[in-house]
Amino acid sequence: MAAAEQLHVIAPEDRARADLYGFLGLLLETPASAVLLDQIAGLRGDGSPIGEATHALSRLAGVTTPETAEREFNALFIGLGRGELLPYASYYLTGFLNEKPLAKLRADMAALGIARASGKHEPEDNIASLMEIMSGLISGRFGPPAGLADQRAFFEAHIGTWAIHFFTDLEGTNSSVFYAAAGALGRRFMEIEKDAFRMVRT
């Protein structure tokens, strides 16, 4: 997503959340490169659900080549005609692409001053873009960092309604090993975020 880069001071826990959203967006935007795989292989997790999922992904990154990652990514999201999964809110919520969820997202993006980055032609309601937008809202990439109520509103409108389902499908896919582990990390993070937002007062 296009936006003027700004520096904002945010709480460490919010920085960690923004970083994890951004990491998931990066993983799901394009096949993992050798550099990214090496970086992931160096990650360490604690005993928390997120930590365990991070550790599993790290171990797999250490034995995954860029060629394998590309094959998995293509089978999952591109394929011959279409991949195993269609990672779009419109598809998960209506069964079709380019439907009302995309129109609502575009309206909300315009209200927030967020424009699609030049050179990107995929519908904005793909999971990678939504992870990137959420990261930017938390970190202040698109202006002042969004408060929890505004974060909750965006999450519930565009992510919480389908992302757990998508990441669960990715975790259980037959077409990948590395990206299945990414699905497990995404599912656990989305579950934590959904539970946390339930406690946020509007």
Task: Name the residue ranges covered by the structural domains of the chain.
Answer: 12-198
Residues 96/99/104/110 CA torsion (nearest 10 deg):
110
What per-residue confidence (pLDDT) applies to 1?
60
What per-residue confidence (pLDDT) applies to 90?
97
Other C-beta atoms closer than 10 Å to the C-beta of 126 total 22
End-to-end CA distance of the chain: 27
φ and ψ at 88, to 5 degrees?
-125, 140
The amino acid present at 37, given as its one-letter code, is: L
Instruction: Give 12-198's CATH code, choosing from 3.30.390.50, 1.10.1840.10, 1.10.3480.10, 2.160.10.10.
Output: 1.10.3480.10
What per-residue confidence (pLDDT) applies to 4?
44
Which DSSP string do the residues of 61-106 spell out, in sequence order?
HTT--HHHHHHHHHHHHT-SSS-S---BHHHHHHSSSSSHHHHHHH
DSSP code at position 114: -
In whole angstroms, give the CA distance from residue 92 to residue 70.
24
Per-residue confidence in pLDDT tens, the chain, 202 aa: 644 445 578 999 999 999 999 999 999 999 999 999 999 999 998 999 999 999 999 999 999 999 999 999 999 999 777 899 999 999 999 999 999 999 999 999 999 999 987 777 889 999 999 999 999 999 999 999 999 999 999 999 999 999 999 999 999 998 899 999 999 999 999 999 999 999 886 5
pTM for the full predicted model: 0.93
What per-residue confidence (pLDDT) applies to 202?
57
Other C-beta atoms closer than 10 Å to the C-beta of 50 total 16
What per-residue confidence (pLDDT) applies to 3?
46
